[in-house]
Structures are given as C-alpha cells and as structure tokens.
C-alpha cells in the first residue's frame, strides 16, 4: 500500500489509499482516535467566528482561526466569509440566507458528516446522502408581537435519503449512531449555555 | 416624504426615506407588525434547506424556498449554496467552515440583525456592531472516544462591540432586548425538538 503525505497539506492531498472509504482516510481516523484516547488533553478544541454589521439585515462572518490538539491551527491559509440577510418580507434585501436557515444548514452538514464518518469506521460504503430540513416558526415570537410563541423554530424535521452497499437496517443504524454523536444535533436538540458580553463605544 | 416602490423588488430597492433607520424601513416594519397582530395566521413561516454529500467531510446545502405570510415566497430568484467541510485535523479537506462554525455564524447573524431591528424600532442610530464568538468543545464526545463530554460546545461566548448615537445604557438595553427576541439565540440556548426520518435505497 503506497502512502505518501506532506504534513503541511495533509487534508488537501486526500491521498487515495486502501484505507480510504467514503472519502475518509480510516487509518488516519483510527490513529486520531487512539491519540486522543491516550492524550485526552488534545481533545480540547475552540472554534470561532467574527461578525460585522454591513447595514440593515446584512452582516458577514469571518471564519478562520481555531484551537485544536494543543495549539492554534496553522493549516487554514484563507478565511471563509459568510453573508447573512433576510428576505424582503422580513425587511431585508436578501443578501444571504437568514440566520435560521444557516442553523438548518449547520444541522444538515453535521449530521451528514457524522453519517459519512460513522459509515467509514464501520466499513459501510455509501453512494449518496441527501437531506431536506424544515423548521416551523411563528414569527410573532421573534417580532415581539405576542409573548406566547417561542422565538425560534417550534420544531425541526430532518428527512434523510441514504444509499450504500449495505442492508437498510445497517444504513439506519449508521444514521442512529451519527445522530448520537453529532455536535450540532446535540446543541440544537439540547441547547448550550450562551454568555453574551457587551462593550459600547 | 417621497415614497416610490415596486412590489416585485421591494427588498432590493432599499428606497431611502425618512423612515429608514440603520438600513431598516421602520414604516414597513411597523406596518408588518400591525398586519401580523391583526392576522396572526400570517405569522406561520417555514424555512428549509436541502443538503447533498459530495465526498468525505464535504457537503453542500441549497437554500431558496420558504413559506411565509400565507404562501410560498416568490421573491428569491436564485438559490444560496453553502459548502461545509472539516479542517485536516478533523479528517477533511477544508472545503468550507465546519458545521459547528456555521452554528456560531447563525448565532452571530441573528443577534446582530435583532440588535439592528430593535435599535431601528427604538430610534437608536447605530454606527457599528461587531462580535466575536467562541465555542469550546471536548471532541472526545463527538468522536465517540469517551461518553462523558457532550458532543457539542460546552459553552459559547459572544462578545459584542456596539457603537451608536445613544448612551451606553441605551445600547445595552437594545442588546438585552435583541437577546430576548432572537430566534437563533432561543434555539441554541434552549434547544428545539428535532425529528430525524430516514429512507434507504
């Protein structure tokens, strides 16, 4: 089995080896898991975003730096920029998906990657993973018109269509395990303590 | 006061009138609030995202259609596409922000727009709104290495820097009210019921 890598471009090389399944290098996956088991202090990560208001409902987040495995990440050479907005009916100029739509995307993305990683670890080759997410909201809450409806979605429904080289029961098990391990599913389903600090000038 | 609008391009025109504050047309804002007060059935919205796996940790959401105020939206002519990924250390090829970073962006964007809208309604002219968000995670949870740490962030800290033509106390009141009305803050702080359905093929 030929293995050739340069540490500095590890992720981008995506060297195809016998251990690659669903686009995930499972040798590296298991090595990472073993390393974190033996040195739990390496498991402390911090992700970040900075945001700037651009007028009306238009604002932009920049995502780049993060802390991982004992140090600041140096592999990201460019920042990701994300524009948010609101459609006309919510008084914006449609400069991007709205924040609630971004939350649906975060949930879809995390469950999908969890499915792909769990399947890779369990030797299940996937051919496609698609999902549709819906979130129902009574906007009287967020608009402050009525104190009764909550501000956020009353409920979110995620519908997955998963296909791969495994029986339906096995594919369902993979989705169940992914749901039990997904970071964003945990946060959206269970909530997270959020501290908001304010400096004025 | 000159008012000129075409319904079909309502959001994009951003006609500047005396009622525009912080880039928000407050006449339209108050008209929308009055309409929803008088016809609460118009407050039922549904937002959506569809997602497709593209290999490894790379997946893409499409955001376009939504239901609002008694019908399907027709103002969005193009879809927004959002690419997610993971950095090398989490076995991806850095094809986009990771799902947890997208959640931070959703939270930043929603709190920021809420601040801008509340300030517009309260006649507070803002000059800048910036924020930095951090989320601390022990990845042993999401990686399934240890059952003790939760999968998601243990905590999120949001630091706002807000400036505008108002005393610091007034600006702080605006942020407090925005926090009390933000849809994504509510969801992230308190959680939402999430149903996951699976079809296999």
Q: Which residue has the tokens 């999120």?
A: B156
The answer, as to whether pTM is greater than 0.80, is yes
Residue ranges in chain A whose pLDDT is less than 70 = 1-17
pLDDT digit string, tens, across residues B53-105: 999 999 999 999 999 999 999 999 999 999 999 999 999 999 999 999 999 99
Question: Per residue of chain B (201 residues), what is the pLDDT tens digit?
Answer: 223 333 333 444 445 567 899 999 999 999 999 999 999 999 999 999 999 999 999 999 999 999 999 999 999 999 999 999 999 999 999 999 999 999 999 999 999 999 999 999 999 999 999 999 999 999 999 999 998 999 999 999 999 999 999 999 999 999 999 999 999 999 999 999 999 999 998
What is the reported pLDDT for B201?
A: 82
What is the reported pLDDT for A100?
A: 98
Q: Which class for A69: exposed (0-12), middle (13-18), buried (19 or more C-beta within 10 A)?
A: middle
Quick check: B43 and A138 CB within 8 A? yes
Q: Which helix (H) or strand (E) holds A180?
A: helix A168-181
B157 in reach of chain A (CB within 8 A):
yes
Q: A81: helix, coil or strand? A: strand
Quick check: A200 and B131 CB within 8 A? no
Encoding tokens for residue B147?
A: 């059952």
Quick check: A146 and B66 CB within 8 A? no
Q: Which helix (H) or strand (E) holds A136?
A: strand A126-138
Encoding tokens for residue A95?
A: 């400069």
CB neighbours of A2 closer than 8 A, spacing ≥ 6? Answer: A17
Task: Encode burial over B101-126: b for 16+ CB neighbours within 10 A, e otherwise.
Answer: bbbbbbbbbbbbbbbbbbbbbeebeb
Nearest Cβ partner for A75 among B32, B87, B156: B87
**Which of A48, A67, A103 should be substituted to probe chain B, the one whose Cβ sees the most B Cβ atoms within 10 Å?**
A103
What is the reported pLDDT for B15?
A: 52
- DSSP designation for A177: H
What is the reported pLDDT for A7?
A: 38
| Sign of the alpha-carbon dihedral angle for B15, B174, B106, B69 | negative
* DSSP secondary structure of A23-56: TEEHHHHHHHHHHHHH-GGGGEEEEEEEEEEEET
What HEC string does chain B produce? CCCCCCHHHHHHHCCCCCCEECCEEHHHHHHHHHHHHHCHHHHEEEEEEEEEEEECCEEEEEECCEEECCEECCCCCCCEEEEECCCHHHCCCCCCCCHHHHHHHHHHHHHHHHHHHHHHHCCCCEEEEEEEEEEEEECCCCCCCCCCCCCCCCEEEEEEEEEECCCHHHHHHHHHHHHHHCHHHHHHHHCCCEEEEEEEC
Quick check: B24 and A91 CB within 8 A? yes
| Sign of the alpha-carbon dihedral angle for A70, A71, A77, A83 | positive
Q: Which helix (H) or strand (E) holds A188?
A: helix A183-190
What is the reported pLDDT for A201?
A: 83
Inter-helix orientation angle B99-121/B168-181, to 10°: 120
Quick check: A58 and B23 CB within 8 A? yes
**Which of B30, B40, B48, B51 should be substituted to probe chain A, the one whose Cβ sees the most A Cβ atoms within 10 Å?**
B51
Residues of A in contact with B137 (CB under 8 A): 44-47, 183
Encoding tokens for residue A73?
A: 């990440």
| CB neighbourhood size of A87 (10 A) | 22
Of A161, A169, A42, A174, nearest to A121 (Cα)? A174
Rounded to whole angstroms, the Cα distance separating B22 from A54 reads 10
Nearest Cβ partner for A46 among B51, B55, B136: B136
Task: Encode burial over A33-54: b for 16+ CB neighbours within 10 A, e otherwise.
Answer: eeebeeeeebbbbebbbbbbbb
Question: CB of B198 within 8 A of CB of A195?
Answer: no
CB neighbours of B140 closer than 8 A, spacing ≥ 6? Answer: A36, A40, A43, B146, B148, B149
Rounded to whole angstroms, the Cα distance separating A178 from A166 reads 16
Encoding tokens for residue A39?
A: 């040195």
pLDDT digit string, tens, across residues A37-76: 999 999 999 999 999 999 999 999 999 999 999 999 999 9
Question: CB of A85 within 8 A of CB of B106?
Answer: no
Quick check: A188 and B192 CB within 8 A? yes
């Amino acid at each position: 089995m030929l293995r050739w890598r340069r540490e500095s471009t590890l992720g981008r090389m995506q060297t195809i080896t016998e251990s690659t399944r669903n686009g995930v290098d499972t040798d590296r996956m298991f090595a990472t898991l073993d390393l974190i088991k033996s040195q739990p202090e390496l498991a402390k990560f911090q992700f970040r975003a900075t945001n700037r208001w651009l007028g009306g409902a238009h604002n932009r987040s920049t995502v780049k730096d993060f802390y991982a495995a004992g140090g600041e990440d140096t592999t990201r050479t460019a920042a990701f920029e994300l524009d948010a907005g609101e459609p006309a009916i919510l008084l914006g100029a449609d400069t991007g998906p709205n924040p609630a739509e971004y939350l649906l995307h975060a949930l879809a993305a995390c469950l999908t990657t969890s499915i792909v990683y769990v399947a890779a670890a369990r030797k299940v080759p996937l051919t496609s993973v698609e999902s549709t997410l819906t979130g129902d909201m009574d906007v009287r809450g967020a608009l402050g018109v009525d104190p009764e409806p909550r501000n956020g979605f009353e409920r979110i429904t995620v519908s997955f269509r998963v296909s791969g080289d495994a029986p339906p029961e096995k594919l369902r098990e993979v989705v169940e395990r992914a749901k039990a391990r997904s970071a964003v599913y945990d946060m959206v389903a269970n909530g997270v303590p959020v501290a908001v600090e304010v400096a004025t000038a």
